[in-house]
């Protein structure tokens, strides 16, 4: 069930974000290839954390710089997943099922430089 607060915030999801999973595949010659594969594309709200918010979570994850919120998805979970928005890459650390309602998921994330995890 959507809470009143959530119903009024649906318009905040304005960024189209690609969620990619790091995969290793075996080639016909027996070698391996590592690459990022598209997992899902979602509308999201990417929110940079303020200095105060960063200090509050510093004990848990000092490198967290953003929060990314999407409508709930079971396919976007686990390690080795990143979010890509307009060439910017975000490493996802952990997710929270907001309000335990299975309607919204919030990820803590770190913006990266380059094509790394």
Residue 1's pLDDT is what?
46
Model confidence, pTM: 0.78
Residue 52's pLDDT is what?
54
- The domains located in the chain, with CATH, are 15-25+35-112 (2.40.10.270)
DSSP state of 98: G
| Averaged pLDDT, groups of 10, the chain, 117 residues long | 53 93 92 94 92 53 81 81 95 86 89 70
Strands 104-112 and 66-71: antiparallel
Q: How far apart are CA 42 and CA 77, in angstroms?
A: 14
């Amino acid at each position: 069930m959507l809470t009143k607060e959530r119903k009024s915030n649906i318009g905040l999801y304005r960024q189209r974000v690609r969620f990619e999973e790091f995969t290793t595949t075996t080639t016909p010659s027996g070698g391996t290839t590592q690459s990022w594969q598209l997992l899902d594309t979602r509308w999201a709200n990417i929110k940079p954390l303020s200095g105060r918010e960063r200090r509050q979570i510093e004990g848990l994850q000092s490198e967290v710089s953003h929060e990314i919120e999407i409508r709930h998805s079971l396919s976007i979970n686990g390690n080795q997943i990143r979010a890509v928005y307009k060439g910017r890459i975000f490493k996802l650390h952990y997710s929270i099922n907001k309000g335990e309602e299975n309607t919204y998921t919030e990820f803590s994330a770190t913006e990266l430089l380059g094509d790394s995890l």
